[in-house]
Amino acid sequence: MYFPCFRKNANAAMLSNYEVFKLLTDLKEKRKDSGRNKHSVGQQNLNTITYETLKHLSNTPCSRQSPEIVKEFLTTMMPHKLTNRAEKLQLLNHRPQTAVEIQLMVEESEERLSEEQIEELIQTVSDILPGDPEQQNVAPAEAEMDEGGEQS
């Protein structure tokens, strides 16, 4: 618990999970190279939080993202009427694959988006953001499968 520094701006900007994942991964690499004192008592807290946060984030979609993917995602999201920055951020961080998940993250989605638009949104998210390779082999329960289309 620390009570320090004067806080200028409590919420200067929201960061996506990917940005934090990248920051911590780069930090870890840098500290590995310098070697000098990363085990000193003072650095233990940084080591702990870095390790635990990376551990948590590696099991989420952000671990498979890149700056290009994030940029493409934001560009493609523009026509989808998601005015709220927080909504786009949650879609980016969670990569929802069902309408129920979309409804959790998009406020009043039933009023703002038609069923078709929700499906479109799921499709966009699925296409642009890489999913978990372990789960890719499971056939998604979507209408397209009925047409006999094969997933490679």
Partner 1 sequence: MFVLVEMVDTVRIPPWNFQSKLNEAISEELNKKLANKVVYNVGLCICLYDITKLEDSYIFPGDGASHTKVHFRYVVFHPFLDEILVGKIKYCSQEGVHVTMDFFDDILIPPESLQQPAKFDEAEQVWLWEYETDEGAHDLYMDQGEEIRFRVADELFVDTSPTGPATAAKETPAQPGQSTAPPAEERGEKKEPPYTLIGTICEPGLGLLSWWNS
Instruction: Write out the residues near partner 1 by the rule CB under 8 A.
Output: 1-17, 19-20, 23-24, 27, 42-43, 45-46, 48-50, 52-53, 55-56, 60, 86, 90, 93-94, 98, 100-101, 103-105, 141
Which residue, 32 or 79, is less far from partner 1 as judged by CB? 32
For residue 120, report the phi and psi dihedrals to the nearest 5 degrees.
-60, -45
Element (H, E) at 112: helix 109-112
Residue 35 C-beta: closest distance to partner 1, Å:
14
Residue 119 C-beta: closest distance to partner 1, Å:
15
Q: What are the structure tokens assigned to 98, written together?
A: 């069902």
Residue 37 C-beta: closest distance to partner 1, Å:
8
Which residue, 91 or 128, is less far from partner 1 as judged by CB? 91
Concatenating the DSSP letter of every residue in 27-40 gives HHHHHHHH-TTTTS
Residue 58 C-beta: closest distance to partner 1, Å:
10
Cα angle, residue 28 at apex, residues 74 and 51 outer, rounded to 5°: 85
Which residue, 78 or 139, is less far from partner 1 as judged by CB? 139
For 49, 83, 147, the CA distances from 107, given in Å and listed in that order, are 32, 10, 33
* DSSP structural state of residue 63: G
